[in-house]
Amino acid sequence: MRGKEAGLVICPESPYPPVGGGALRTASLVEYLADRYTLDAVVFRAPGGDDPRDTLLARRARRVLVLDLPYHRRNKAARACRNLRRLWRGVPPLVERFSGFDDEIRAFAAGTPYRLAVVEHFWCAPYAAALRAPGRRLVLDLHNVESALHAGCGDAESWPLSAAHRRFADVCRRLEQRWLPEYSLVLAPSSADAQRVARLHPGVRVAVFPNTIPWVPLPEAKRADPPALVFSGNLEYHPNEAGVRWFRREIWPRLRERRPGLVWRLIGKNPEAVRRYVAGDPRIELVGPVKDAVAAIASATVAVAPLLAGSGTRVKILEAWAAGVPVVSTPIGAEGLEAAPGRELLLARTAGEFASAVERLLEDPGLRESIGGAGRALYESRYTWKSGRQVLEQLGL
């Protein structure tokens, strides 16, 4: 580390192990920064969570400050009460969740001449005030544009959830307009999100840093028997939960009736969030978290991304491409990815179109091979950590 300037990163969740979209994006940036800076890290830990200092982060960072979040009850009633209070106060849920640690962060950063400080997620953007120092470059890495995310959820949900999300969208928009200009550079995961940032505040310097995942060899081809669909992701994340609900209600019954042997697998952490939607059907397999998402996806016939709202780009599609498995997605699910519909994936806007697209792939091995292979090629050329590092180098970080 001799000769390197000091750098700091603030992470709302541990980047290691790099499992799930948020951790993967943060880990890709931490890996890059650790090669170029003497890196210090601030990491938040949920109650009962593992110590980030016991992970690979301890080898990437010189010092690690762990901030323990207060305990929150996770049952439905407790969540509803918290969110009603946040609605009344006009504070977005995750901004409130990660607030209140200014003194600890300021003390940790004091006395070190950091050349660069990177804040992960908009949830922690207000910590710019605690990090401000002469000569220090502040960078905010957006995983989503929160106002757009809530607005999309508001459009996709029915009342009263729709009203709550629209209220949070308005609040997030005001906070984004307040905090984005505090950073010398804002990283967005897609050109669509970069345009949203520019509309929020035209004076903000914004650049596209795409979501990427580590390079992995193409898994050995296996014939799924019986044929299987797969949905992957953090199942507690609202767009994922809503997508599972829509697929279960509007699309799965059509496929289930027409394809007697077909199964549907859901993989990812927090499976309890969708258990009530899929319970009682023996042909729906709620797998839960896995160590290797690409390998788990590779055992399926078709990957589905039936999302009705979102921002950023979907790592579930990158992982399916890495696995060589063809993808059917809604337009919002594929937003921000440089993919050609009909070549690297199939797009469907309605439940009927979605079911028909899945059936096309189930019936045509050649089409599955063509689309899966094209997705793999696109992943290799644009969506590995190597490609992401090249973007960061070009930005001079």
Predicted confidence (pLDDT) at residue 324 exceeds the cutoff of 90: yes
Say if CB 29 and CB 37 are below 8 A apart: no
What pLDDT score does 221 carry? 72
265 lies in the same domain as 169? no
178 lies in the same domain as 237? no
312 lies in the same domain as 167? no
Count up the domains in the chain and report the number. Answer: 2
What pLDDT score does 224 carry? 67
317 lies in the same domain as 264? yes
343 within some domain: yes
User: Which domain-ending residue is among 176, 209, 242?
Assistant: 209
What pLDDT score does 1 carry? 42
246 lies in the same domain as 368? yes
Determine what percent of the chain is predicted with pLDDT higher than 70. 98
Say if CB 391 and CB 208 are below 8 A apart: yes
Instruction: Give 2's contacts (C-beta < 8 A, 6+ positions apart).
Output: none
30 lies in the same domain as 149? yes
90 within some domain: yes
pTM: 0.95
Tens of pLDDT, residue by residue over 63-96, are 999 999 998 887 778 888 998 899 899 899 999 9
88 within some domain: yes
How large is the average pLDDT for residues 30-41? Answer: 98
318 lies in the same domain as 171? no
Tens of pLDDT, residue by residue over 135-165, are 899 999 999 999 999 999 999 999 999 999 9
337 within some domain: yes
Q: Give dist(CA 25, CA 384) in Å, integer.
A: 11
Tens of pLDDT, residue by residue over 203-233, are 999 999 999 999 999 998 776 679 999 999 9
Predicted confidence (pLDDT) at residue 299 exceeds the cutoff of 60: yes
205 lies in the same domain as 58? yes
278 within some domain: yes
Helix (H, G, I), strand (E, B) or coil at 350: coil
310 within some domain: yes
Q: Give dist(CA 397, CA 394) in Å, integer.
A: 8
51 lies in the same domain as 167? yes
User: Which domain-ending residue is among 179, 209, 239?
Assistant: 209
19 lies in the same domain as 166? yes
What pLDDT score does 223 carry? 67
Q: Give dist(CA 271, CA 285) in Å, integer.
A: 11
Which residue, 130, 126, 143, is CA-closest to 181?
126
CATH number of the domain that residue 233 is part of:
3.40.50.2000
User: Which domain-ending residue is among 160, 178, 209?
Assistant: 209
Tens of pLDDT, residue by residue over 160-207, are 999 999 999 999 999 999 999 999 999 999 999 999 999 999 999 999
388 within some domain: no
205 lies in the same domain as 241? no
Tens of pLDDT, residue by residue over 245-262, are 999 999 999 999 999 999
User: Which of 31-45, 47-61, 215-229 is predicted with the least confidence, judged by mean pLDDT?
Assistant: 215-229
269 within some domain: yes
181 lies in the same domain as 247? no
Q: For the chain, what is the mean pLDDT?
A: 95
Predicted confidence (pLDDT) at residue 236 exceeds the cutoff of 70: yes
Q: Give dist(CA 310, CA 146) in Å, integer.
A: 9
Residue 300 to residues 59, 127, 182, 229, 234, Cα–Cα distance (Å)? 35, 42, 45, 6, 18
How large is the average pLDDT for residues 298-319? Answer: 96
What pLDDT score does 220 carry? 87
Q: Which helix (H) or strand (E) holds 63?
A: strand 63-68
How large is the average pLDDT for residues 263-288? Answer: 96
Structural domain that includes position 330: 228-382
What pLDDT score does 124 carry? 97
